[in-house]
């Protein structure tokens, strides 16, 4: 049955694609209603296939195609579907704080190996620093090579408003990492503050006599299991939330948005692809991590991050997938949330590129030394923003204000920032998933058997999820 539907899908998608191309080039002019009917007929067959396959990854991928078509054919409807994306994001956010707290406390107090926590801490920070430095360098190289901002003429009017930026000193940035009220940190979604509180709580619990701490640790382990089950329930809604996010993007910005600031967009995507090929792939090979199996395992959380432009939305699923990949829970629960604040590879590369773009667009002369100084500032001020869609715009504005450059190029970037955010957020999630596996290998705790069987486990698990 599935094989027959697959053949039907291929035929219908091929017919719709050929008809659209022939009509676009006036080789075989067809009415819009005929083209729309052909495309929706192909999508209907894909939806039937997804229902029969009962695979979450397939459902998400097809929902992205459906969302794109809704946004293109019915832009008003597409923009009105934003509430479905918000529902998905809000449900995910309810999981973040209790999941981080439970997994971190369990990982630290449950094993009573505080030396390992210290080792993971300095190894993680060293790894994060090295990888983000590569991202910084690649971003600067591509910005100076492609020169996307050169020759831009300032527009007479810009129909957009910039977010307000409050200047922060480095002391305030450091202070912001520590919570004054954990409930306030949870309310505002301050991932780094939640991590700091959970680590200190876990260490404090580990210092208690084993008789006193065992009952509490058992309860926290149970909380972690409950939150993973909670995440699985939320994932039933993922295809709808992801499809709505794509529909909103296309409906609001139009399918031709790629023509706007195309060089800047192409530069970012090329730089991120090169970064993955010359940084992530070699790191995976050095750590003896099978690249194809790793890509299959992280596809789901990365696709969620791509569509929602929020790393936070992918965090629970990414943690679950890396645990199935053979990374021990105590390493996943420590490295991944820490990486969400210190290992923003995609955002770091983007900030390097966008900063030079603004300088080029405004005719500001910047030496390589000045470019590095500015981007190092951006790296410091970007900590803890992974869960906030397009928060990097605010960070970028703060740095531009510090260097006295005009702000109008940022308004231009806002036009395509959502498409840029999709790419950099996906790289952020990929980088943090890879970091957990690398640290696990460094600690000698990566389960090779589980890792090599991970793609089979993923297929079996997804078959029962949807």
Burial 51-75 (b: 16+ CB within 10 A, else e): eebebbbbbbbbbbbbbbbbbbbeb
Does residue 331 surpass a pLDDT of 60?
Answer: yes
Give pLDDT, residue 158.
Answer: 45
Determine the average pLDDT of the residues in 238-261.
Answer: 70
- Note whether 349 and 275 are within 8 A (CB): yes
Q: What is the mean pLDDT of residues 64-82?
A: 86
Range with lowest mean pLDDT among 97-111, 112-126, 171-185, 368-382: 368-382
List the beta strands (DSSP E) in 2-137. none
Higher pLDDT, 260 or 353: 353
Residue ranges of domains in the chain, CATH in brackets: 2-80 (no CATH), 82-465 (1.10.3860.10)
With pLDDT > 90 as the criterion, what percentage of the chain qualifies?
A: 15
Summary mean pLDDT of the chain: 80
| pLDDT over 80 at 145, yes or no | yes
Query: Model pTM greater than 0.75?
Result: no
Distance of CA 139 to the CA centre of its chain: 18
Grouping H, G, I as helix, E, B as strand and the rest as coil, residue 179 is coil
d(CA 435, CA 429): 10
Give pLDDT, residue 88.
Answer: 82
Q: Quick check: 157 pLDDT over 50?
A: no
Please spell the DSSP secondary structure of 339-373, one letter per residue. Answer: HHHH--HHHHHHHHHHHHHHHHHTT----HHHHHH
Q: What is the pLDDT of residues 285-315, one digit of tens each?
A: 999 999 999 999 999 999 988 888 778 788 8
The string of pLDDT tens digits covering residues 402-443 is 677 777 777 667 656 777 888 999 999 999 999 999 999 999
Confidence of residue 337 (pLDDT cuts 50, 70, 90): confident
Q: How high is the pLDDT of residue 389?
A: 47
The predicted structure's pLDDT at residue 214: 83
* % of the chain at pLDDT higher than 70: 82
Helix (H, G, I), strand (E, B) or coil at 403: coil
Of the segments 112-116, 307-311, 448-452, which one has the largest average pLDDT value?
448-452
456 vs 87, residue with greater confidence: 87
């Amino acid at each position: 049955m599935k094989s027959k539907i697959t053949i039907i899908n291929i035929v219908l998608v091929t017919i719709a694609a050929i008809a659209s191309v022939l009509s676009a080039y006036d080789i075989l002019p067809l009415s819009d209603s005929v083209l729309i009917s052909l495309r929706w007929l192909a999508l209907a067959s894909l939806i039937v296939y997804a229902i029969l396959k009962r695979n979450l990854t397939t459902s998400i991928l097809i929902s992205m195609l459906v969302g794109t078509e809704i946004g293109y054919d019915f832009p008003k409807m597409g923009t009105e579907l934003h509430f479905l994306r918000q529902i998905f994001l809000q449900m995910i956010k309810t999981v973040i704080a209790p999941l981080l707290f439970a997994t971190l406390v369990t990982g630290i107090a449950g094993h009573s190996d505080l030396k390992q926590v210290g080792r993971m801490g300095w190894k993680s920070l060293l790894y994060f620093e090295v990888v983000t430095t590569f991202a910084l360098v690649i971003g600067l190289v591509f910005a100076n090579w492609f020169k996307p901002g050169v020759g831009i003429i300032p527009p007479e009017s810009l129909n957009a408003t910039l977010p307000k930026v409050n200047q922060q000193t480095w002391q305030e940035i450091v202070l912001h990492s520590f919570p004054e009220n954990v409930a306030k940190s949870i309310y505002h979604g301050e991932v780094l503050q939640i991590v700091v509180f959970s680590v200190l709580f876990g260490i404090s619990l580990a210092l208690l006599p084993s008789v006193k701490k065992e009952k509490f640790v058992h309860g926290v382990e149970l909380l972690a299991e409950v939150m993973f089950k909670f995440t699985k329930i939320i994932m039933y809604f993922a295809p709808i939330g992801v499809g709505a996010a794509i529909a909103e993007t296309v409906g609001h910005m139009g399918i031709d948005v790629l023509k706007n600031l195309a060089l800047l967009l192409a530069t970012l995507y090329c730089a991120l692809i090169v970064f993955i090929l010359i940084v992530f792939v070699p790191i995976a090979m050095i750590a003896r991590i099978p690249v194809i199996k790793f890509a299959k395992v992280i596809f789901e959380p990365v696709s969620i991050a791509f569509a929602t432009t929020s790393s936070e939305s992918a965090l629970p699923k990414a943690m679950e997938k890396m645990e199935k990949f053979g990374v021990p829970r105590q390493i996943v629960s420590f490295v991944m949330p820490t990486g969400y604040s210190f290992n923003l590879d995609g955002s770091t590369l983007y900030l390097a590129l966008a900063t030079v773009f603004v300088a080029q667009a405004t005719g500001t002369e910047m030496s390589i030394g000045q470019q590095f100084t500015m981007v190092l500032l951006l790296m410091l001020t970007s900590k803890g923003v992974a869960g906030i869609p397009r928060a990097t715009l605010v960070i970028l504005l703060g740095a531009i204000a510090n260097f006295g450059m005009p702000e109008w190029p940022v308004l231009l970037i806002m036009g395509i920032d959502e498409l840029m955010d999709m790419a950099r957020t996906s790289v952020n999630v990929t980088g943090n998933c890879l970091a957990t596996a690398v640290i696990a290998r460094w600690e000698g705790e990566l389960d090779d058997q589980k890792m090599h069987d991970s793609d089979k486990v993923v297929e079996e698990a997804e078959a029962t999820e949807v």
